[in-house]
Amino acid sequence: MFQVLKEVYQNFVPSLAKYERIEQDKLILQAINQTVIDSGRFQKLISDEFVYNINYNTDDYLMLLSTLSPYIALEPEARNALFAWLRAKIEQELGGALALEHLCTFEIIEKTVEDE
């Protein structure tokens, strides 16, 4: 799916033309969690994660994108053009549907007691 849409992103918003596998996302989250623990301000990290798959039709996928900060930050004309090209690609080359993996995580951490 990413390979089909990559060209559109490279033409309209190269900064969004990236793809991270779930494994990469997990490593990023682990590094963030370790940084928080290493700060000495937090302790007893509890976390969990799960991966789920969801199917989107074209309209639902574009609606999802329209809620994400990088897309909201685009100039309206650029966003509209990007979405028009994405719609065309999804309809023509992906049959009007996308199957995506999402990583869901949670972290609960206790703040350390500061010396008084």
pTM for the full predicted model: 0.69
The token pair at 116 is 């008084």
What's the confidence (pLDDT) of residue 44?
92
3-state secondary structure string across 54-96: EEEEHHHHHHHHCCCHHHHCCCHHHHHHHHHHHHHHHHHHCCC
18-76 pLDDT per residue, tens: 666 778 888 888 999 999 999 999 999 999 999 889 999 999 999 999 999 999 999 99
What's the confidence (pLDDT) of residue 8?
86
> In sequence order, what are the residues at sequence separation of 6 or more whose Cβ sits closer than 8 angstroms to the Cβ of residue 96?
57, 58, 90
64-99 pLDDT per residue, tens: 999 999 999 999 999 999 999 999 999 999 999 999
